[in-house]
Structure 1
Amino acid sequence: MHAMQYEITLPADYDMGIIRERVATRGHLLDDFPGLGLKAYLMRERADGSPVNQYAPFYLWAAPEGMNGFLWGPGFQGIVNDFGRPVVQHWTGLAYEEGPASGAVPQAATRRRVRLREYEAPAAAVERALEEHRGLASSEGAVAAAAAIDPRNWELLHFALWAKDAPEAAGDAFQVLHLSAPQRPELPRGRHW
């Protein structure tokens, strides 16, 4: 599994209805995309207390070929054409779990990124992250949760989808406008090694 996200930060006075319309008219295009575990069409708004207006889709890829097919194909080119080429963040998967509310349509998502301390042993940090991941995945209202790491920058990622409101302590909060999940059942459960 690979996690991927790009963030498009928009002006403070941007009409976020444009993003809602974009997702409403185009979101279904990835509902059967090969290799895609899930794509959460995420947005956050200053009007809701966010520090920024932002469109920030989040992906879990079941296969790297799917990620490559998206990035080098017409799907990502649409983002580039409309917003410029964003930085694409990506992390290698550590774990994935379905939550107690796995049958619900997610309404919210959280993302928390944590940099490893300079002299911290990577294996110990990953073990702590996996323990936190299990707790997040088993939380009431959790639809699904993933943990991943970027070994270039030594950054851990915790991502979760929620049936309703996201817990404040879980990280940056986003609205889920749509969920494409063609290969969600194929995402490997548990620890990924």
Structure 2
Amino acid sequence: MHAMQYELTLPADYDTDIIRGRVARVGHLLDDWEGLGIKAYLLRERGVDGSPVNQYAPFYLWNSVEGMNSFLWGGAFQGLSDDFGRPSVRQWSGLAYAEGASASGAARIAVRRRRRVPDDVAPADVMAEATDEVGRLAGGDGAVLAAAAVDTSRWELVHFSLWEHRAPEAEGDVFQVLHLSAPGRDVLPGGRQW
């Protein structure tokens, strides 16, 4: 599994209904994308759930590098780049994935938490702890799914979870889920991935 995200931080007075309209028009285009586990079309609005910014920030879990590369180089990503400029795309190697206690529920909220891997702790210990956290999040009331991944170029962990409703179990940046494309969700590898 590979995780990927880009963030488009929008002006404070930006009409976020423009993003909602865009997702309503094009969100379905990835509903059957080869190699894609999930794409969560995410939006933060300034002043909502503690967000300091308006931000469109889709989050992906890929089953294959080929699917991810096909998205980035094969034209689908170009439309976004043409409209907003080419954003920096963050990538993380998968650590763990779990379906949630409410796996069949509608994902309405996403929570993303990024944190540095401490220099004074063995990476294996941190990764094991991150894997345990995925299980804890997935077991929460209203949890649809949870995942963890690591960027070794920055030694940064990311925890990502989807929820039916705002969950006190998850800490981090809170996003609205505008659409969820999940063509390969059923084949995302569950559990620890190392």
Q: Same fold (TM over 0.5)?
A: yes
Aligned identity (percent) is 63
Q: Secondary structure at the match of 2:19?
A: helix
Match of 1:99 in 2: 100
Runs of 4+ in structure 1 deviating by more than 6 angstroms, as ranges, are none
**Cα offset for 1:168?**
7.1
Pairing of 1:1-193 with structure 2 (within 5 A) = 1-48=1-48, 49-167=50-168, 169-193=170-194
> TM-score, normalised to structure 2's length?
0.97
Query: Retained in 2: the 8 A contact 1:62–1:186?
Result: yes
**Count of paired positions:** 193
Per-residue CA deviation, residues 69-105 of structure 1 (Å, 9 max, x unaligned), is 0000221001110111111001000010000110011
Per-residue CA deviation, residues 91-127 of structure 1 (Å, 9 max, x unaligned), is 0000100001100110000000010122221111111
What is the one-letter code of the residue matched to 1:46?
Answer: R
Q: Secondary structure at the match of 1:167?
A: coil
Measured in 1, the distance between the counterparts of 2:72 and 2:101 equals 32
Measured in 1, the distance between the counterparts of 2:132 and 2:93 equals 17
Measured in 1, the distance between the counterparts of 2:113 and 2:64 equals 23
Alpha carbon RMSD of aligned pairs, Å? 1.0
Measured in 1, the distance between the counterparts of 2:56 and 2:180 equals 14
- Counterparts in 2 of 1:126 and 1:168: CA distance versus 1, 3 Å: closer
Measured in 2, the distance between the counterparts of 1:142 and 1:123 equals 26
**Cα offset for 1:154?**
0.6
Between 104-113 and 40-49, report the one with greater CA deviation. 40-49
Query: Retained in 2: the 8 A contact 1:105–1:163?
Result: yes
Measured in 2, the distance between the counterparts of 1:124 and 1:45 equals 35
